Amino acid sequence: MSVLVGKKAPLFEADAVLNGAEFTEKFSLEQYIGKKHVVFFFYPMDFTFVCPTEILAFQEKIEAFEQRNVAVVGCSVDSKFSHLAWLNMPKEQGGIAGVTYPLVSDFGKTISANFDVLAGEYDYNEDGEMEFDGEPVAYRGLFLIDKQGVVRHQVVNDLPLGRSIDETIRMIDALQFFEENGEVCPANWKSGDDAIQPNQEGINSYLSKH
């Protein structure tokens, strides 16, 4: 599993569904460079069980992301048609109707592979035939990307393990606080807490208060 923190996020162009209803081609995260931070997250598949809880949880907090000038973008290995069908399905029937942020189609699995969250790989068997070893879906990877297109935080969960949207927002707050103030954020820091000046004097001052 690659660590992309500190590196430019891999580039891609792909089909996506916008505003829960509109197809677009050549969707790219490059449109946000210089303008917004991005939370780019992968989920395994449409029409599954844990995935809608995460997707809808991001939507429930979408105003919190927008207030922080952060774009939320989801991605799975399903087609844009599968995304649209799921977006048109009511929540009470297991759908994700009402989701407005972009859902990217990684139908060729190249985006998942480039972000190194694909839960398997193609290989040759003993007969020389190519086959997929593992699960042909993405792990639950999440990448916080800054305005320069650099990954500043990543977390990758196994398929059964849902993520915390509140923790994602906490990490955004920490990154933006550091960018604005130059102070680093200690363990369990949250917005409004004291931070630390990145020098010994600042560390001593912080420790004396705690």
Residues labelled catalytic: 51
* 3-class DSSP state of 144: strand
Strand order in the sheet with 22-27: 22-27, 14-18, 103-105, 70-76, 37-42, 140-145, 151-157
On the 0-12 / 13-18 / 19+ scale of CB atoms within 10 A, 109 is middle
Q: Which two tokens stand for residue 170?
A: 């906490």
Query: Rounded to an integer, what distance in angstroms lies between the CA atom of residue 143 and that of residue 4?
Result: 9
H-helix or E-strand containing 80?
helix 80-87
Pairing state between β 118-124 and 103-105: unpaired
